[in-house]
């Protein structure tokens, strides 16, 4: 069988991503356009309108970058969930239309699985414990008996959401994670903030409330607030990750998802891995935040193990949990 080519469409939130992956593991294109809200957080319907508006040009750019035409595509992968309904629907509609027009199969991909699989591809990790941290998810997971099992997760908001919401409150630019990271470098005073780990799970809503209250009190510099927020938020992650690493005995520790771009978090993960004799694996920045390449690549490996998504089963699932997904390509 020859080499197959897959287009991946990512549209779970504020990014519209189009990637092209080949079954030999080559990523030929990874084009991302981001909807930046005029004010406040992401408005699901506005993000979807943005995605619909730039769908055509993003597709053309991805195909041009890959040096192919749409007729060279062997199948179309799209993020089927979890995520925001209107955004997901826009991407799924485009995927269906393309698949029907080109007469090729459709492969529905779980967005969380894709964050892990692109991390495995890009770093060469085979069977890692993965820390997947983003705007909507905070999950410690590893492959076990046919699925990615969740060892720990947030009980309320995701870590990226906590950073983004605080940064909006403090008048910092969007997205919040990188803005907080830059200011944190200038901070040094550790402000007391709630550290909440319950068993293997974490909670970030109390931390967000507390750091917002401290900001409004005017007692602290923004640099120290950002520094303290990062230290507490990432230490909580470190504790749960370390315990999961010790319990599972995995030999690789993969950091993936948008917050995985953070240098401080990378350093913490690096020292945890080192202490346990595991190899730290960091998803490259270009594949850390939401992108189409991760959907295309996961489409390739899913397709390779026989997964197809007929049109009548291609409806989106905004609440599709990571640990509900069958992962036959690793079994
Ligand atoms: P999900 O994967 O849950 O659907 P998402 O759409 O938010 O979520 P990503 O693009 O993976 O997905 O992550 C975006 C998040 O990453 C935002 O919260 C952003 O602030 C955060 N982020 C990006 N860069 C950094 C950084 N350098 N440090 C910390 N956080 C960062
Ligand atoms: Fe994501």
pLDDT 10s digits, 71-126: 999 999 999 999 999 999 999 999 999 999 999 999 999 999 999 999 999 999 99
Q: Is the CB–ligand 1 distance for residue 138 below 6 Å? A: no
The pTM (predicted TM-score) of the whole model is 0.95
- Among protein residues, the one whose CA lies closest to atom 4 of ligand 1: 136
What pLDDT score was predicted for residue 40? 72
Ligand 1 proximity of 163 Cβ (cutoff 6 Å): yes
Domains in the chain (CATH in brackets) are: 5-116+287-324 (3.30.420.40), 127-285 (3.30.420.40)
Give the Å distance between the CA of 217 and the centre of ligand 2: 33
Going by the DSSP 8-state scheme, the letter that residue 154 receives in this structure is B
Q: Quick one: pLDDT at residue 38?
A: 78
How far, in Å, from the CA of 4 to the mean position of ligand 1?
Answer: 30
Q: Is the CB of 44 under 6 A from ligand 1?
A: no
DSSP 219-284: -S-HHHHHHHHHHHHHHHHHHHHHHHHHHH--SEEEEESGGGG-HHHHHHHHHHHHHTTPEEEE--
What sign results for the dihedral spanned by CA atoms 134, 138, 144, 148?
negative
What pLDDT does residue 41 have?
A: 74
Ligand 1 atom nearest the C-alpha of 12 is 4
Matching residue, tokens 């750019």: 61
* Nearest bound ligand to the CA of residue 12: 1
254-269 pLDDT tens trace: 999 999 999 999 999 9
User: Ligand 1 centre and the CA of 301: distance in Å?
Assistant: 25
Which residues in the chain show pLDDT less than 70? 1
Residue in the structure block whose two tokens are 């690493």: 245
249: CA distance to ligand 1 center in Å?
Answer: 28
| Residue nearest to ligand 1 atom 19, measured at CA | 177
Distance 296 CA to ligand 2 centre (A): 14
Token duo for residue 76: 């179309």
Q: Is 110 in the pocket of ligand 1 (CB under 6 A)?
A: no
The per-residue pLDDT for 1 is 63
The per-residue pLDDT for 42 is 79
CA distances from 123 to 38, 132, 146, 200, 256 (A): 36, 15, 22, 26, 10
């Amino acid at each position: 069988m020859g080499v197959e080519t897959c287009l991946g469409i990512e549209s779970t939130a504020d990014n519209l991503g189009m990637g092209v992956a080949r079954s030999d593991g080559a990523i030929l294109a990874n084009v991302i356009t981001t909807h930046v809200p005029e004010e406040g957080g992401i408005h699901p319907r506005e993000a979807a309108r943005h995605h619909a508006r730039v769908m055509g040009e993003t597709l053309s750019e991805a195909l041009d970058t890959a040096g192919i035409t749409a007729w060279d595509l062997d199948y179309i992968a799209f993020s089927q969930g979890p995520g925001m309904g209107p955004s997901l629907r826009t991407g799924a509609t485009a995927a269906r239309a393309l698949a029907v027009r080109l007469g090729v199969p459709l492969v529905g991909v779980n967005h969380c699985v894709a964050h892990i699989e692109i991390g495995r591809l890009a770093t060469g990790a085979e069977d890692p414990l993965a820390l997947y941290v983003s705007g909507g998810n905070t999950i410690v997971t590893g492959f076990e008996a046919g699925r990615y099992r969740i060892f720990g997760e947030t009980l309320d908001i995701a870590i990226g959401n906590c950073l983004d919401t605080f940064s909006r409150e403090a008048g910092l630019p969007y997205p919040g994670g990188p803005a907080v990271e830059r200011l944190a470098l200038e901070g040094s005073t550790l402000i007391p903030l709630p550290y909440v780990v319950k068993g293997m799970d974490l909670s970030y809503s109390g931390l967000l409330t507390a750091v917002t209250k401290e900001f409004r009190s005017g007692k602290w510099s923004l640099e120290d607030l950002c520094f303290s927020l990062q230290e507490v938020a990432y230490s909580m992650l470190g504790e749960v990750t370390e315990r999961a690493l010790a319990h599972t005995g995995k030999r690789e520790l993969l950091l993936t998802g948008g917050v995985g771009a953070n240098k401080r978090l990378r350093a913490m993960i690096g020292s945890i891995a080192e202490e346990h004799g595991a190899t730290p694996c960091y998803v490259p920045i270009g594949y850390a935040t939401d992108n189409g390449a991760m959907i295309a690549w996961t489409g390739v490996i899913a397709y390779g193990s026989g997964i197809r998504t007929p049109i009548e089963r291609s409806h989106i699932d905004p609440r599709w949990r990571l640990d509900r997904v069958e992962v036959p390509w690793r079994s």
